[in-house]
Amino acid sequence: MITTQSIRASELDRTPDLVDLVSAARDAGHEVVLIERPMPDAVSVAAIGRAFDIVAGDGGVSLEDSVGKQIDFEPGGNRILAASRLWRRLAQALGGPAEVVATGPLAVGGFAYHPDREPGGPWSGFPALLLRVPALAVTRVRGRTFASAADAPAMALLDLPPTALRAPSAHTLEVTPARNPMAWTAAVETAAARLRSGEAEKVVLAREVVARGDGVVSAGMVARSLRAAYPACFTYLVAGADGTAFAGASPELLVRRTGDRAFSQPMAGSVARGTSDADDERLARRLMDSAKDVAEHRLVSRFVVEALRPFADRVEAPAPEVVRFTNIQHLATSVQAFLHDPPADALELAAALHPTPAIGGWPRAAADRLIDELEAMDRGWYGGAVGWIDARGDGEFAVALRCGLLWEDGARLYAGVGVMPDSDPAQELFETELKLKALLSALI
């Protein structure tokens, strides 16, 4: 039996900057999670402190209270589905759905690329899955700002003063590939050859680089820089239990569930931005005419449509389009599903979709074998998902891309590419460099 106080939402008469809010809270020693997308109809959430954690455990997921005591457990081999069942019970105990989406009882967090494996090495501060019910959640919904507090004292977290950096900020970076680029391109060449032999249709291989600064790399400053540089992306920041922080700016929506509708926007196939509008158009046409990129994208969009069909009366997927971000263009398909009654919640849908071929490959088991053999790194939360779910089951999860694991004076940065049978290893290496710029420029 879960004994709790109800969590209710109240509208604020002020609009705090969410990055400033979580930065001050983290500097004061509080656990924080930020999911922000500064778009007109988007939902942004700043989560501070901990009331409850839904966290990966042996054989399923545990519900822990604010001091880490287990008070409930949900077994299951698929930890995302187990988290959905546990969240449903907890949300009802916390008072059920609020009037406004993403307010009241709310769980914020995410999961690793492999939710069934505990991350190791540099990812020791991050469990395979963590969804946190914060002591205080500040949510921005269509221009209105709400606070949902687990208790009255939690509202004081709104007024935490900003703290100055204890050491000078980094001004220069020393960037070192975690793996020799020649070895990585050789792995891409091996993967393409194995795809040509029929082992799989596609595999995504990622790279890791280590950046060390000559001063402090502030997680709050990184999040603020990413938000400014990539305003159409999902900016996120998740504090690790070991003092690290996972931050990024993802262009890709895994799934959004609003009532009886689900929406996903898979992306696969990339090209750089041009130096002018005409140059952008030329590069976009080249992307649309690329047999490799079109085949890769078709595989991904078809998977998403088929994964949503069991939950829906109808699934619609128009022709792909080119979407543009600050330094890159992607092929994207906007998939909409009209869900059965009662509709699956956001976590159930995420479990069906994750990992899409855009971040893993296809077929899934064969692609994961290739990743384990050829990638030579622990992905941790890279390629996983970050987002939120509320008590009605509405929610939004972005694919954890364009990201890095930050510590006091450096970061591990991650970027991947879709390898197809006809992939050019040198071109794939160039694409990772293009993607890594998104975070490197934000570190200083």
**Please, where are the H alpha helices in 95-170?**
none
Instruction: Spell out where 334-441 has E strands.
Output: 335-339, 361-362, 385-390, 395-399, 403-407, 410-419
Please tell me the distance from the alpha carbon of residue 373 to that of residue 295, in angstroms, as a whole number.
Answer: 24
Which of 221, 160, 164 minimizes the C-alpha distance to 30?
Answer: 160
**Contact criterion met (CB below 8 Å) for 254 and 356:** yes
Please tell me the distance from the alpha carbon of residue 325 to that of residue 343, in angstroms, as a whole number.
Answer: 32
What tokens does 186 get? 């050789």
Q: What is the largest CA-CA distance in the chain?
A: 63
Neighbours of 279 (CB within 10 A): 12
Please tell me the distance from the alpha carbon of residue 9 to that of residue 14, in angstroms, as a whole number.
Answer: 15
**Contact criterion met (CB below 8 Å) for 339 and 358:** no
Catalytic residue among 31, 36, 74, 202: 202
Please tell me the distance from the alpha carbon of residue 387 to that of residue 32, in angstroms, as a whole number.
Answer: 13
**Strand ordering across the sheet containing 312-316:** 70-75, 60-65, 52-57, 129-133, 106-111, 385-390, 395-399, 253-258, 261-265, 335-339, 312-316
The CB-side HSE value for 423 (13 A sphere, CA atoms) comes to 32
Catalytic residue among 31, 64, 208, 252: 252
Residue 368 has φ and ψ, to the nearest 5°, of -65, -35
**Contact criterion met (CB below 8 Å) for 305 and 335:** yes
DSSP at 296: H
DSSP at 169: B
437 among known catalytic residues: no
292 among known catalytic residues: no
Please tell me the distance from the alpha carbon of residue 393 to that of residue 40, in angstroms, as a whole number.
Answer: 22
By annotation, the residues acting in catalysis are: 202, 252
